[in-house]
Structure 1
């Protein structure tokens, strides 16, 4: 299986860019662009069945709504949480995101753990 075995699901492309810069291993990052329809979600779940899936969404109402949907439809996924004070994945400090990712055994660039 040469497909990437880890997948992080985020809301927007700015979240994706931010996380990609921190990662130190190949991880597939999927954007839901906010909401996700049931048919799209079913399709996604089929593709992700044998992978380690992490949900990393904003700490706001739309993020929580998406998280609830994934908990219901894809209970096997692991949920990663950013501190509520940062609200958005895209605006959370790299060091905070790196710590969250590392806590889930996702390899990150060491310099992000040393900053500020």
Structure 2
């Protein structure tokens, strides 16, 4: 986790999700990758780190993503949950335009070129 202060934190599952989202986001946002699962100790560490931040959860639209989402709903009831369309299933394979619209809907600033349909 980054030492420089950012007030928005986006939690994703995989490294490919993180890389895709990082290219779209325009403002400083800490992107934390869970690698699909998260240990109890790592969750405790996150709870302390995320205490005073705006937390956004963006996970895949599949069973493992939903399991992770339920856990975050329990541990971070104030987190905002972002959803990709189920037809894309994975954040990493969702079109950049779709992800940009999802992020923009959560008041996360995105690069405008991703808002244009190609």
TM-score, normalised relative to structure 2: 0.95
Q: How does 1:1-116 map to 2 (within 5 A)?
A: 3-116=5-118
CA distance in structure 1 between the partners assigned to 2:47 and 2:112 by the alignment: 32
Q: CA deviation at 1:115?
A: 2.5
Distance 1:4 1:24 in 2: 13
Number of corresponding residues: 115
SS at match of 1:54: strand
Give a deviation string over 1:8-66, Cα, whole Å, max 9, x none: 00000000000000011110000000110122101101100100000000000000000
Q: Deviations over 1:83-111 (max 9, x none)?
A: 00000000000000000000000000001
Which consecutive aligned stretches of 4+ in structure 1 deviate over 4 angstroms post-superposition?
none
Cα distance in 2, alignment partners of residues 77 and 42 from structure 1: 15
TM-score normalized by the length of structure 1: 0.97
Unmatched segments (≥5 aa) in structure 2 = none
